A and B are shown apart, each in its own frame.
Chain A
Amino acid sequence: MDNRLILVVGPGRSGTSLGTGMLEALGARVPEPRVAADDSNPRGFYEPRWVVEFHTSLLRAVGVHVGDAQPSAWSRAAEIGRDDEPRRRLEKWLRREFRRADHVAVKDPRLLWFLPLWERAASPVAGTRYLTMLRHPAEVVTSQQRHYVRWDDNNRVAGWLNTMLFTERATRGSTRALVPYDDLLEDPPAVLQAVCARLDLALVERARLPNMQAVDRLVDPALRRSRATWESMEVDRRLVEMAEEAWDLLTKLAAAGAEPPAALSADLDHLRRSYVDLYGFAESLTQSTRWTAQRSTNLATRLANRWAPDQPPLTLRSALGKGLRWMRRRISSADRARGPAGQQR
């Protein structure tokens, strides 16, 4: 099969837009229409609107956030990914895209939650390849905090660990390339040649002068200026140590080529389990907070029923539903104020 589906997977602000932009400059198709560019990404996000909406609806259905730090989020996302209905929709969309090109690149920070679904949907149409950009977690988190809705620094770092470590596991054994963001900025032709060789893409082979010029134009010297350190954030020491270890292992993995040593995979597995344990510990520590939140919800339900006796009795389920609808309305109005849909992360 000559068709190639290149899934650019990684958390937002890790350089996935640059990576996808370069694939497009070399001749890959990035489906249209796309999420519009904004100040946080003036050259564009390279995210097809259809894909963003598709993923957003799936994530909503399972209650997973794009940068979710919960290890259990993976099994919830996987469950919906096993359904035939989304698989059929995705396959139909992919077939339409591959009628226009034989190399299609898809990027969306939500994509990493549904890799098995994409692989199943693509299998009759194209060979799937994975491209992951590696950018230091302190830089990713600093950039996320600047451009996205602000979460706690600790949660952002935990989200980076959760998404990177599980994405590594999900793509292990597949045809993949891990690309350090800085390397791509410093020397795009050398990196793109290596990526195309690794992923068996015909893009470099076919590239002409306008393609190479387009690649060069994507390198904005300003992109190199964002140098963040842990000192600029308030992150727990254990998380910093874990993030540094993950960064070190992933960097080694990127350099190791197509067949990394088994010991490296074992170290990544060990680190992933350590993260799951740490998250479990944090959950156990906050059990009282969850109990209070649960109790508040129950209290609100009882009060609502007392104040509106003529309405049907409010159950916990319907109270949550009302709350969710209220939150969606808030988010929608915030989105409208901010610009195109799908930008809030």
Chain B
Amino acid sequence: VIRRRDLSNLEGLHQFDVRWHDGDPAHGMLTAVVRVKNEATSMPWVLPGLLRATDSVVVADNGSDDGTPDIAQEVAEAMGGRDRLRVVRYPFEVSRCGPEHLATPPTSVHSLTYFYNWSFSHVRTSYCLKWDGDMVLTEDGERSLDHLRWQLEGVQAIIHIPRYPVYVESPDVAYVDTQVVNREPWGWPNEAEYRHGKGFEWEVPIWPETVRSVRLPEWTCFELKWLDADEFQHWSTTDFGTNLRTRRKAREWEVFHALQQSQLPAGVRRVESPGALHVIDRLREADADTAIGR
């Protein structure tokens, strides 16, 4: 049996060593790992769907000062999912994406790579799901994830989930960028050979060379971008360069600033929800045809 090598850190802080726990079906199939820093606004839309569609959720808080961990617990409590939420705290300043990340050794507690590995080491279920603190499951996405819990039994696969950026202007108005879709790998078995390594701008998931892929439907989730917030503070530069990896980020930057100046870039759809229903909830309920026109 191959076991993942536990990781210690450059700083010698043993209480933050990474000690893996390989998946045990007795704990369930799927745990979502949500690494957050100041995502209190998004939590009420992010957590409920996740708590319904997975067996457990780990929120790894990285020094939020907007009460994110408390809000997360309140949201879980309100929907009766408190026992399936675990909040863990990672107290170190973590390097931002881009050059700052590149300059940080991957074994330092300040490295995004180390933070990811530490966060995922809390998972006990058979699969883990990487989730961002601003990613909202659609209703269709909830059903798909829920089904995965039995579809993945006895299967080794990487789960790819399409994700669309949604720019929220107000409770009534949002914009969906249909031009750039990110089909990243978001889930994988909680076993040896699955971990995170260091990439050039951010962390990268590592898995065995021969493993099949599972792709969820097109309108499974979307990523919130609040037009009245600083959505790029987790980046150490706004010069995203020309490489293929950061092309999506450059597009987000372009769309974000165009919308702030009341311009509608090509490929961006305006969505309105004039009634009592929040525009985010309207998008959650929408099907792919309505939301992204396909």
Chain A positions within 8 Å of B, measured between CB atoms, are 186-190, 192-193, 204-209, 212-213, 215-217, 221
Contacts and interface: CB of A to CB of B under 8 A. Distances in A.
Contact of A190 (B5, B103, B197, B209): B103
A208 B206 contact: no
Contact of B207 (A193, A208, A213): A213
Contacts of A189: 102, 198-200
Given A186-B105, A193-B102, 15 more contacts: A186-B107, A187-B106, A189-B199, A190-B102, A204-B200, A204-B243, A205-B241, A205-B243, A206-B244, A207-B200, A207-B245, A209-B185, A212-B199, A212-B200, A216-B204
Residue from the set B200, B204, B243 with the largest chain A CB neighbour count within 10 Å: B200
A2 to B, nearest CB: 15
A213 B185 CA distance: 13
Contacts of B197: 212-213, 215-216
Contacts of A190: 102-103, 105, 198
13 contacts: A186-B105, A188-B198, A190-B198, A193-B102, A204-B243, A205-B242, A209-B185, A209-B204, A212-B199, A213-B197, A215-B197, A216-B206, A217-B206
Contacts of B244: 205-208
A221 B5 CA distance: 9
Contacts of B242: 205
A207 B199 CA distance: 10
Interface string B240-260: 011111000000000000000
Interface of B: 5, 102-103, 105-107, 185, 197-200, 204-207, 209, 241-245
Contacts of A206: 243-244
Residue from the set B5, B107, B204, B209 with the largest chain A CB neighbour count within 10 Å: B204
Contacts of A217: 206, 209
Contacts of B200: 189, 192-193, 204, 207, 212
Contacts of B241: 205
Contacts of A216: 197-198, 204, 206
A190 B200 CA distance: 7
Contacts of B107: 186
Contacts of B205: 213
Nearest to B196: A216
A221 B3 CA distance: 14
A22 to B, nearest CB: 13
A206 B200 CA distance: 11
Given A204-B243, A206-B244, A213-B204, A187 B199 contact: no
Nearest to B105: A187
Residue from the set B5, B103, B206 with the largest chain A CB neighbour count within 10 Å: B206
Contacts of A187: 105-106, 198
A212 B205 CA distance: 9
A217 B107 CA distance: 16
A215 to B, nearest CB: 8
Contacts of B105: 186-187, 190
A240 to B, nearest CB: 31
B103 A212 contact: no
B225 to A, nearest CB: 23
A187 B104 CA distance: 9
A206 B243 CA distance: 6
B156 to A, nearest CB: 16
Q: Give the top 8 A-B pairs by smallest Cβ distance, nearest first.
A: A216-B197, A212-B204, A205-B243, A212-B199, A189-B198, A189-B200, A216-B206, A187-B105
Contacts of A213: 197, 204-207
B157 to A, nearest CB: 16
Nearest to A217: B206
Nearest to A190: B102
Nearest to A208: B244
Contacts of A221: 5
A42 to B, nearest CB: 16
A106 B197 CA distance: 27
